[in-house]
Structure 1
Amino acid sequence: MGASAWDYYAPYQEDLGAALEELQHQVFLAGDYYWVRGGDWLPEEERRPRPSTLDELWADEWAQHSGTHSILDVFHVQREDEEPEICAVQPVTVEEARRYTGTERLTRAHVPAIQDLAGERGYGRCAVLHDDHGRPQEIYFWGWSGD
């Protein structure tokens, strides 16, 4: 199938990890992810209903292998000073923000300039986006995942 790009906006909160968890909960409840066991390419008798919990989703070997092609495929937010980890979200650093946009205070208008920072499958990024007055307004999460 190949990897898929995904991106989401979440209301700002200081705890990026908590924001990630809330967003994942919303995506899971909405069913806004690829469920490998429900594909039309499967014979009807092999299809399975969507899992009722994230634990059930990740207990499925097919899901572990194929991923969900969504933000569900990342498991935590790293600190800015950590080396990028597969299946994690790394915040955009001040240096990256300045280099790609010329400012530390990113807004929605800067999103196209930073999107290439998440160019490898299995890695996610996030950035705090500000309003016109420089106040944190939302968090942009994006990446590539799935197989």
Structure 2
Amino acid sequence: MGAEVYWYYTDYQPDLNAALQTLRQKEFQAGRYNPAIPLLDFPITENSPAPGAQHISIEAALEASDADGTRSILDILRVDDRPCPLSRDEFEEALGGGEEFYQILGEVWNTAFLLPPAELITLFGTEQPTHEMIHSVLFGSKNPNGRNQFWDSIDRGSARYIIVYADHQPSEIFFSGYSFD
């Protein structure tokens, strides 16, 4: 099976890692992860299935998901305030093997990376995109080349995040990523 895409909006917190951990815990408690639900439908809404946690902990769910990963935000353990250090081509090369490559991959896997300001401007025309801008570009037809470039830039087992603005103030965090398999 190929990698599965996932995305979430969560309330903004200045501590981005705390926001990530809160979102992970929410989705774990809802049971929205593989293997509890093998394939999730996105976007997650109040009507999305929520069978409840099927494992004793997030760590147990990660272990049970094996090489596929949870196909959800549970796969992301940390937030990095830098852009991803590897391009898609470099990531694919690193998958080719060698001990030094696995060290590099360890810096990428399970991490949500900042989408750099230049990419925000390319995609949305601003460094402060709104919820509506993100939706229309990444899931609509407003900027198909930008949309494809964005999704193609995310490596398996990693994610990107964007601070979402309302009235020129941070209001949400958008997390998007690909599962391992």
Question: What range describes the TM-score normalised by the shorter chain of this pair?
Answer: 0.7 to 0.9
Aligned-pair distance for 1:92? Answer: 1.4
Structure 2 residue 150 is matched with structure 1 residue 127: no
Tell me the distance in 2 between the aligned counterparts of 1:58 and 1:99: 35
- Quick one: which of 102, 109, 118 aligns to 1:86? 109
Whether the 8 Å CA contact 2:62–2:74 is kept in 1: the answer is no
- The answer as to whether partners of 1:124 and 1:141 remain within 8 angstroms in 2 is yes
Structure 1 unpaired stretches of 5+: 40-48
C-alpha separation in 2, matches of 1:75 and 1:53:
14
Cα distance in 1 for residues equivalent to 2:171 and 2:157: 26
Q: Are residues 1:71 and 2:73 paired?
A: yes
Work out the percentage of aligned pairs sharing the same amino acid: 29
In structure 2, runs of 5+ residues without a counterpart are 39-52, 87-107, 139-146
TM-score, normalization: structure 2?
0.66
Q: 1:11 aligns to what? A: 11
Cα distance in 2 for partners of 1:92, 1:86 equals: 16
Counting matched residue pairs gives 134
Q: Which position in structure 1 is the counterpart of 2:120?
A: 97
Q: CA deviation at 1:15?
A: 1.1
Q: In the alignment, which of 110, 113, 120 is matched to residue 137 of structure 2?
A: 113
